[in-house]
Structure 1
Amino acid sequence: MTATDTKGTRLTEIGRVAVTVADQDRALDFYVNTLGFEKRADIPYGDSYRWIEVAPAGAPTGIALVLPREGEQASACETGLILTSADIDADHATLRARGVDTDPEVQRWGAPVPPMFGFRDADGNALMVVENG
């Protein structure tokens, strides 16, 4: 083993995370038209599959909207995804006005914890929004 072999792998970034959805068209509509994300990919492959990626404009990491594995069903989950907001109160109000299932109010725990709230996507998958700064 050489000295460079002991330093780990050549993994460099988190390129995307996958969120399982029951209906890719409905999920794409939610993430693009409700959240305002950009569609980065919508590529058919195989007999009837699609690879769909969305992300906030300019974000380095995207979300892949994937169907469940064959024989499984999509079920709502805690994704662990945390989105960043420059104005948490405005984003909370905007999402509520658009009918998104959000927490009733922004949580404020006090420093050093930033303000935050949770919401659920069209499949009930839970995501968190945290104020930047």
Structure 2
Amino acid sequence: MTSSTRTHLTAVHTVAVPVTDQDRALAFYAGVLGCEVRLDGSYGPGARWLEVAPPGASTTLALVRREDGTSGMDTGIRLATTDAAADHAALRAAGADVDAELIDMGPQVPPMFTFRDPDGNTLVVVQTP
């Protein structure tokens, strides 16, 4: 690709997460994870566009209703935290579906853990400096 054919992409704006019930998903992502609602509106008859994000984040998660009821996937989404152990404990205390143990593979790999939202979608929380 030559420089004259490059795009003007600058960031990842939104990542879609399939959900079966947007209100239930919103209760989890906002109420349990602490995300803020960035956009909640309709875009057609009975169609709702819902975006949430951690406070201060530039990339949002679109909680997209799946009409066929399909959800429960490994999203590949990695969320950043400054304290994986504290967040792991907080989510467990809140009753979230969190893996029992914090993943700690030594000094070269940051601590992390996996959790699932109410639809069974898997996300990972990774400690960042």
Which residue does the alignment assign to 2:78? 82
Which residue does the alignment assign to 2:124? 128
Q: Report the TM-score, using the length of structure 1 for normalisation.
A: 0.92
Matched residue SS, 1:28: helix
Q: In the aligned structure 2, how far is the partner of 1:109 from the partner of 1:131?
A: 12
Q: In the aligned structure 2, how far is the partner of 1:117 from the partner of 1:84?
A: 11
Q: Which is higher, the Rg of structure 1 or of structure 2? A: 1
Q: In the aligned structure 2, how far is the partner of 1:87 from the partner of 1:120?
A: 19
Which residue does the alignment assign to 2:46? 48
Which residue does the alignment assign to 2:13? 15
Which residue does the alignment assign to 1:5? 4
Of 24, 27, 30 in structure 1, the residue corresponding to residue 25 of structure 2 is 27
Which residue does the alignment assign to 1:117? 113
Q: In the aligned structure 2, how far is the partner of 1:74 from the partner of 1:58?
A: 30
Q: Report whether the alignment pairs 1:67 with 2:74.
A: no
Q: In the aligned structure 1, how far is the partner of 2:70 from the partner of 2:53?
A: 21
How far 1:4 sits from its partner (Å)? 4.0
Matched residue SS, 2:69: coil
Structure 2: gaps (5+ residues)? none
Q: In the aligned structure 2, how far is the partner of 1:75 from the partner of 1:90?
A: 28
Structure 1: gaps (5+ residues)? none
RMSD: 1.1
Q: In the aligned structure 2, how far is the partner of 1:49 from the partner of 1:98?
A: 30
Q: What number of residue pairs does the alignment pair up?
A: 128
Identity fraction in percent? 52
Q: Report the TM-score, using the length of structure 2 for normalisation.
A: 0.95
